[in-house]
Amino acid sequence: MNTNAPKKNLLQAVNTSDKPSKEEAMEAVRTLIRWAGDNPEREGLKDTPKRVVNAYREWFRGYDMDPTSELSRVFEDVSGYDDMVLLREIDIESHCEHHMAPFLGKAYVAYLPTDKVVGISKLVKVVEIFSKRLQTQETMTAQIIDAIDDALKPRGSAVMIDAKHQCMNTRGVHHPDVSTITTQFTGEFKTNPSLQDRFLKLISRD
């Protein structure tokens, strides 16, 4: 599925002064436990609010990270290399903004360099930053490619994400085997069907 999600600001974190304290967040978890019908003070749940808040800090650490900074160090000595740079099967661990339920899968990222390249670990880090935020898969796909295009000014970029959403697998329609695929192409990847086809073939090979 080729998405046309609108571009969004790459940094969407709340103002620090508006951020609740850790104790306020823990009290919110206690409220949810009571709402679910249990007692947050019983032995098995007493430390759950602290564990949940610590887990949230890890799951959503992308709000404290800047993708532009990660892509700021580039290498201009490419020795004439001008073909595709492709990373396959980058792990995705994210949460959808609709139900705050996990979605898990793989990302595939490629770009066509002009006169500079970036360390491949930095591309993985950019995927991780956006995955550690609340958003839809479509938005995350667009955000990743926007960050690459803004920082590297490549001749073209391509991103595909293939993920399974727990909000659909464990609730609602309950279809555990359904995965969602989103793609986004820019530059030569968008205008050259053969290049786009080559990307798709490379990421699907065993």
All structural domains of the chain with their residue ranges: 20-59, 66-204
Least confident of 1-5, 49-53, 56-60: 1-5
Q: Which CATH superfamily is domain 20-59 in?
A: GTP cyclohydrolase I, N-terminal domain (1.10.286.10)
Choosing from 128, 165, 184, 196, the catalytic residue is: 165
165 in catalytic set: yes
Q: Which residues are CB-contacts of 87 (< 8 A; sequence separation ≥ 6)?
A: 108, 109, 110, 120, 123, 124
Residue 68 three-state SS? helix
CB-CB neighbours of 21 under 10 Å: 8
137 in catalytic set: yes
DSSP state of 111: E
99 in catalytic set: yes
23 in catalytic set: no
The pLDDT, as a whole number, for residue 5 is 42
What value does the mean pLDDT take over residues 46-66? 95
Residue 149: closest CA among 118, 121, 128:
118
The model carries a pTM of 0.86
Choosing from 12, 23, 89, 98, the catalytic residue is: 98
User: Options 2.40.50.100, 3.40.50.720, 1.10.260.40, 3.30.1130.10; which CATH number does 66-204 get?
Assistant: 3.30.1130.10
Q: How far apart are CA 183 and CA 103, in angstroms?
A: 16
Choosing from 70, 95, 96, 196, the catalytic residue is: 96
Q: Is the pLDDT of residue 172 over 50?
A: yes
Least confident of 51-65, 102-116, 157-171: 157-171
Choosing from 93, 99, 138, 188, the catalytic residue is: 99
Based on C-alpha coordinates, what's the Rg of the chain? 20
Residue 126: closest CA among 152, 156, 165:
152
Residue 178 three-state SS? coil
CA dihedral 173, 178, 179, 182 (to 10 degrees): -70
Choosing from 135, 137, 143, 196, the catalytic residue is: 137
Is the CB of residue 7 less than 8 Å from the CB of residue 146?
A: yes
Confidence of residue 15 (pLDDT cuts 50, 70, 90): low
Average pLDDT of the chain is: 89
The pLDDT, as a whole number, for residue 140 is 97
Q: How far apart are CA 158 and CA 199, in angstroms?
A: 8
Residue 19: closest CA among 47, 46, 53:
53
188 in catalytic set: no
89 in catalytic set: no
Is the CB of residue 90 less than 8 Å from the CB of residue 107?
A: yes
97 in catalytic set: yes
**Residue labelled with tokens 């978890």:** 29
